Amino acid sequence: MIVKLPWTTFSKIKTGRWLIYELIDGSVAKVANVTIGPEWANPNIIFQVTPPISLVTFLTRFPEAIEVISMADFDGTSPNVITEPTPNATAFVVQVTTVAVAGTPVNLASVVVPDGRALVIASDLNNDVKKVVYVATSSANALSDATRITLSPGNSVKLFVNNTDKVWVDSNLSGQKVVAIVEQ
């Protein structure tokens, strides 16, 4: 279900953590919450922000938000909906990367991500619970609050990239670990 709301209303909703958003023409146009709980906004609703709000304004209010490629309300009658399931993978690769020195981004080692599969990046459960890891598209982006995502221990993000070497990680504590999982 898609609900249209003005930014002044949406910015006051208690949304919880791990809000996801979609950019259209450089502005935040759609937002969804992925936290489940009675006190949070329903995770099955996509909010369409009217008019779209600037990314800077949005991230100022929701700094933990993660950009996604697109969101759409499900329409089972659409001929464009793919009904054939993606075949199950026959194997998967797990890669553990340690950020040796906090503030020094690390590029993940190369592993090909097959078409139709996703790369899952997770902050190791054994990481310090008061610290975080950062995930970004480059070394420079891993150092900038505006261009990286933040993961607490046990949290993950799914990325549709063709190789793990497209990902850079960093942390605010030396020795933190990041786990990458790729279906093959």
pLDDT at 89 over 90: no
**pTM beyond 0.85:** no
Report d(CA 148, CA 10) in Å as an integer. Answer: 23
Tell me if 59 is assigned to some domain: yes
Residue 109 DSSP symbol: P
Counting the structural domains of the chain, the total is: 2
Q: Which domain holds residue 178?
A: 92-183
Q: What is the pLDDT of residues 127-170, one digit of tens each?
A: 999 999 999 999 999 999 999 999 999 999 999 899 999 999 99
Do 17 and 96 lie in one domain? The reply is: no
User: Count of alpha carbons within 13 Å of 78, Cβ hemisphere only?
Assistant: 8
Residue 37 DSSP symbol: S
Do 54 and 12 lie in one domain? The reply is: yes
Closest by CA to 137, choosing from 105, 163, 168, is 168
